[in-house]
């Protein structure tokens, strides 16, 4: 029997929901977080956010406080009473001490006043998402492959590989499930945002590029009719 990857503390790609009714700001925030390698879904109202959040899988939610269909603070308060634990960052123009205290009292984990610097928002989101993902592995090792979830780097036989965000996310997800068949739909749900089309060949394209960059012996295998798995190279391959 071969040993699986060595795992030390971080893990699959960080997934964030941005809930903001100002489209320009929402797109700007989404672009900034995406550039840093986060998977970002968007919503412009409390109801749209609620529908997306019902599926789970988020490491942090960025809520504009005042939305067209209500105060996000009340929505978060209700969800907290139901046992919801995902970290929340409130964005708001309200900057009094009373407003900030109310944000924390209603279940917020952080509070950022508009206007804000994108770099600060990114740092705060990273911090909150890190709390949510604290039990995930940050360093994965399998034979001569090493994946660093903090630096977002992959090396094989000590050589740094130039992976895209999606290639990194797919490899990371597979390496945390060694030997397990992972479907294309599962990969899309965990490594792409909600705009990805589950029936497209996007996963196959990324896996093909990933295999080329990883080289031989091959470790990302096709499981016929099921998807892909990360596995030990077979003798002679």
| CATH placement of domain 15-132 | 3.40.50.2300
Domain residue spans of the chain: 15-132, 138-230
- What backbone phi and psi angles, to 5 degrees, belong to 129? -65, -35
Residue 120 pLDDT: 93
Mean pLDDT for 45-71 is 86
Whether the per-residue pLDDT at 80 is higher than 60: the answer is yes
| 138-230 is a CATH 1.10.10.10 domain | yes
Mean pLDDT for 77-104 is 87
pLDDT tens per residue, range 186-217: 888 777 766 556 556 888 999 999 999 999 98
Q: Which of the given ranges, 92-101, 132-141, 148-157, 221-230, has the highest pLDDT on average?
A: 221-230
Q: What is the DSSP letter of 79?
A: H
pLDDT tens per residue, range 6-42: 333 334 568 899 999 999 999 999 999 998 888 898 9
CA neighbor of 94 nearest in space, from 80, 110, 112, 76: 112
Query: Rounded to two decimals, what is the model's pTM?
Result: 0.58
Are 15-132 and 138-230 the same fold in CATH?
no
- In the chain, which ranges are E strands? 6-8, 15-19, 39-43, 60-64, 66-67, 70-71, 88-92, 110-113, 139-142, 145-148, 153-156, 159-161, 220-223, 227-230
Whether the per-residue pLDDT at 2 is higher than 50: the answer is no
Mean pLDDT for 76-105 is 87
């Amino acid at each position: 029997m071969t040993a699986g990857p060595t795992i030390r503390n971080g893990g699959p790609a960080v997934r964030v929901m941005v809930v903001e009714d100002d489209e320009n700001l929402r797109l700007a925030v989404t672009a900034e977080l995406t550039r840093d390698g986060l998977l970002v879904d968007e919503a412009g109202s409390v109801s749209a956010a609620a529908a997306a959040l019902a599926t789970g899988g988020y490491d942090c939610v960025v809520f504009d406080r005042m939305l067209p269909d209500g105060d996000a603070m009340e929505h978060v308060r209700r969800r907290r009473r139901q046992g919801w634990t995902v970290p929340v960052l409130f964005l708001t123009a309200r900057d009094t001490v009373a407003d900030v205290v109310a944000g924390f009292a209603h279940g917020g984990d952080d509070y950022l006043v508009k206007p804000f610097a994108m770099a600060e928002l990114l740092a705060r989101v990273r911090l909150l998402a890190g709390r949510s993902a604290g039990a995930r592995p940050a360093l994965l090792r399998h034979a001569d492959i090493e994946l660093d979830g903090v630096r977002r780097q992959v090396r094989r036989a000590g050589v740094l590989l130039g992976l895209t965000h999606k290639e990194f996310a797919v490899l990371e997800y597979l390496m945390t499930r060694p030997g397990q068949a992972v479907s294309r739909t599962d990969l899309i749900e965990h490594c792409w945002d909600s705009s990805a089309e589950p029936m497209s060949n996007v996963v196959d394209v990324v896996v093909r590029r990933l295999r080329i960059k990883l080289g031989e012996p091959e470790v990302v295998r096709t499981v016929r009719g099921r998807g892909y798995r990360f596995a030990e190279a077979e003798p002679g391959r």
